[in-house]
Chain A
Amino acid sequence: MPWFLHLALRQLFPPGKRFPAFATVSILGVGLGVASLLIVQTVMNGFGEEHRLRIRESFGDCQVVGAAPIEQPEALAKALVARPEVASASLYAEGPALARNGDFSGIAQVRGIDPTDPGQPARKYVYGGSFDDLDDGRIVLGAGLARALRVRVGDRIEIWSPAMAERAEKGKAPLPAEFEVCAVIVTGFTEVDNAAALIPLRRFREIWNLGPRAHGLTLRLKEPALAEATAARLAATRPELRFRPWQDIKKDFLAAIRFEKTMLFFLMFIITLVASFSIGSTLFSAVIRRSREVGVLAALGAARWEVVGLFGLQGLLIGALGTLLGFGLTWTILSFRDGILSAINGLFGGGDMVANVYQFSKVPLHYDAADFVIAAAFTLLTTAIAGLVPALWAAGRKPSEAMRDA
């Protein structure tokens, strides 16, 4: 151990002193800064991950659509599932329709799906009723749409499709399709919840006069993270179709989440910067307090760079210990996040935002090693500079002058 590291440790943690105030306060400052940075980043990651997961669950990992309805969708599904990247494929068709319950009506985005598919995403978001009851006479509604129509599970509604207008043109009396509501879903995406209506694909084909065709396929991939590359590869084999990876489907939304995260990173980074500045000023006053000692070290033959090392290392040590403390605080606070949140809600009566607005049962988390590496690197850099500036100043003084200081 070089002598200046030994002395740096002694000056930070003086022996015989039970409470090293200077070091404790500085390390705590850095630790709180790092923790606030990482907590915000980790929770933001959690929300992002949760949203990404929901997008994938709702829209599939990859959508396959064509310029016209797909003629032989079952055969296409079979061919796609045969590919090693694809886990499953399910047909769908969709289109807007008028939903009516007596005097109440609303625009429904009706989606025809395979009710027997165990991977149907709507199953996870059932709020009331049962998805398994879905059959040719029943329908699943988004909560917002159900509210607009004033219906609950067990009530009946009518669906008027554009194909019925064609019937009317041909002089036949258009008859609406009748459904009993068997389940209500809440996904957390307002535009989905306010319009979604799910019926079996077989019924959709009847009501929309689609015949054996479908509007598209949703694919589950074995590696959802590689959806973009996989989609490009699949598209090459079927140039007449479009393959949209999930990252493309809600592009702006995902970009907004990333942007939010970046902005918060800079805001929180400023907090750590403030902590580093306060270390800089405390170190500076410590160096001034030790002016005489700097002169003595020079009289003992210490080189300038060693004096720089002595004080620069103190900044770096504070930064390193503060970073570690910040890591620990982050982990601790996030482990108790739900208790902390309900305490805050209890104090300010804010209601449970997470459940009400975001529809998450818990504050979501996603630890990203990159955030920790970046936070540590930035903190070490700024605290090293904060220590280095007074260190350079101290080492630049003439020993004779330094030793005259009281």
Chain B
Amino acid sequence: MPELVLQARGLAKAFASPAGPLPVLTDVSLEVFAGESVSIRGSSGSGKTTLLQQLGGLDQPDAGEVRILAPGSGLVAPRTSLGRGVGFVFQNYQLMPELTALENVALAARIAGVPALSATAAARALLVQVGLGARLEHLPAKLSGGECQRVAIARALVNRPSVILADEPTGNLDERTGAEIMDLLLGVVADRGAALILVTHSREFAERAGRRFVLTAGVLTPA
């Protein structure tokens, strides 16, 4: 039995709107185990990003709770495991524009408390692994979309989190680059022994995950 790395129970979230509260998540429960990959599909506006934010601790659900395995600390609230237990990959890459590729990845390690030298060494190794060994000193503005997403993937992995939350990581990329990024993401995440929760529009990419869900009407149903 593989180790439990993420556990969500009865998540609910509604947003205030002029026409009263708008329920986005009504009752979401999910368990993810070490090393597995899970995909979540759903139409635009169905609440996929909202769900990832609750899972990763960027927002507090109205009801329910989430636990994430933080190495060395056991299952903890996601907010306290940010950057250690969980790593994010966003659709828009979200790199720091003033930092080079190497510094962007090292930054995540520095924030987690890793000394500068080891952070840089770990960042360099990961960037080489994602195929950017020749782009270490480039600023994000000088990188292509696919290259930026590779940097973002390296950044998400640098602290060896137990789970990666990827929010439409290929959404801004052309088909071919998207496929390359999917290959890389699935490969490198598996290589590091992390679990992957992949939110995507694409049925094709969703099919590549070990378990598949669809988010409709605020509920997660197996596909």
**Binary contact track A300-316/B, C-beta < 8 Å → 1, others 0:** 11100010000000000
Which residue of B96, B98, B111, B141 contacts A301 across the interface (Cβ within 8 Å)? Answer: B111
B218 at the A interface (CB under 8 A): no
C-alpha gap A290/B70 in the complex (Å): 29
- A293 contacts B111, C-beta separation under 8 Å: no
Closest to B108 in A: A300
- A296 contacts B94, C-beta separation under 8 Å: yes
- B88 contacts A301, C-beta separation under 8 Å: no
- B98 contacts A299, C-beta separation under 8 Å: no
C-alpha gap A3/B99 in the complex (Å): 12
Given A3-B110, A3-B111: A293 touches B58 (CB 8 Å cut-off): no
B56 at the A interface (CB under 8 A): yes
- B116 contacts A1, C-beta separation under 8 Å: yes
A residues near B190, Cβ cutoff 8 Å: none
C-alpha gap A295/B92 in the complex (Å): 13
- A301 contacts B83, C-beta separation under 8 Å: yes
C-alpha gap A398/B56 in the complex (Å): 13
**Binary contact track A265-284/B, C-beta < 8 Å → 1, others 0:** 00000000000000000000
A16 at the B interface (CB under 8 A): yes
B125 to chain A, nearest CB (A): 19
**Binary contact track B97-129/A, C-beta < 8 Å → 1, others 0:** 111100100011011100010000000000000
Within 8 A of A (CB), among B160-194: none
B48 at the A interface (CB under 8 A): no
Segment at the B interface, from A6-14, A100-108, A202-210: A6-14
B59 at the A interface (CB under 8 A): yes
A298 at the B interface (CB under 8 A): yes
A400 at the B interface (CB under 8 A): yes
- A302 contacts B111, C-beta separation under 8 Å: yes
A286 to chain B, nearest CB (A): 12
A289 to chain B, nearest CB (A): 11
Which residue of A6, A10, A16, A400 contacts B58 across the interface (Cβ within 8 Å)? Answer: A400
A148 to chain B, nearest CB (A): 74
C-alpha gap A306/B159 in the complex (Å): 18
Which residue of B88, B97, B141 contacts A299 across the interface (Cβ within 8 Å)? Answer: B88
A residues near B100, Cβ cutoff 8 Å: 15
- A300 contacts B83, C-beta separation under 8 Å: yes
A292 at the B interface (CB under 8 A): yes
- B110 contacts A295, C-beta separation under 8 Å: no
A399 at the B interface (CB under 8 A): yes
B residues near A1, Cβ cutoff 8 Å: 116
A389 at the B interface (CB under 8 A): no
- B56 contacts A299, C-beta separation under 8 Å: yes
A residues near B97, Cβ cutoff 8 Å: 14
B160 to chain A, nearest CB (A): 13
B26 at the A interface (CB under 8 A): no
B8 at the A interface (CB under 8 A): no
C-alpha gap A258/B37 in the complex (Å): 76
Given A16-B139, A299-B58, A300-B107: A400 touches B98 (CB 8 Å cut-off): no
B67 at the A interface (CB under 8 A): no
- B111 contacts A297, C-beta separation under 8 Å: yes
Closest to A2 in B: B110
Closest to A400 in B: B59
A residues near B116, Cβ cutoff 8 Å: 1
A149 at the B interface (CB under 8 A): no
A16 to chain B, nearest CB (A): 6
C-alpha gap A301/B83 in the complex (Å): 5
Given A15-B139, A299-B56, A299-B88: A7 touches B82 (CB 8 Å cut-off): no
A403 at the B interface (CB under 8 A): yes
A residues near B139, Cβ cutoff 8 Å: 15-16
C-alpha gap A201/B159 in the complex (Å): 93
B residues near A403, Cβ cutoff 8 Å: 58, 90, 94
Which residue of B98, B103, B111 contacts A300 across the interface (Cβ within 8 Å)? Answer: B111
- A398 contacts B59, C-beta separation under 8 Å: yes
Which residue of B58, B103, B108, B112 contacts A399 across the interface (Cβ within 8 Å)? Answer: B58
- A306 contacts B56, C-beta separation under 8 Å: no
Given A3-B110, A299-B58, A300-B111: A10 touches B82 (CB 8 Å cut-off): no
A322 to chain B, nearest CB (A): 21
C-alpha gap A301/B114 in the complex (Å): 13
B150 at the A interface (CB under 8 A): no
C-alpha gap A94/B22 in the complex (Å): 96
- B96 contacts A399, C-beta separation under 8 Å: no
- B98 contacts A15, C-beta separation under 8 Å: yes
A residues near B141, Cβ cutoff 8 Å: 16
Closest to A303 in B: B111
A396 to chain B, nearest CB (A): 14
Q: List 27 A-B contacts (CB under 8 A).
A: A3-B110, A6-B110, A7-B96, A7-B98, A7-B99, A7-B107, A10-B96, A14-B98, A293-B96, A296-B90, A296-B94, A296-B96, A297-B111, A299-B82, A299-B83, A299-B94, A300-B82, A300-B88, A301-B83, A302-B83, A302-B111, A398-B58, A399-B53, A399-B58, A399-B59, A400-B50, A400-B59
Q: Which 4 A-B pairs have the closest CB atoms?
A: A301-B83, A3-B110, A400-B59, A301-B82
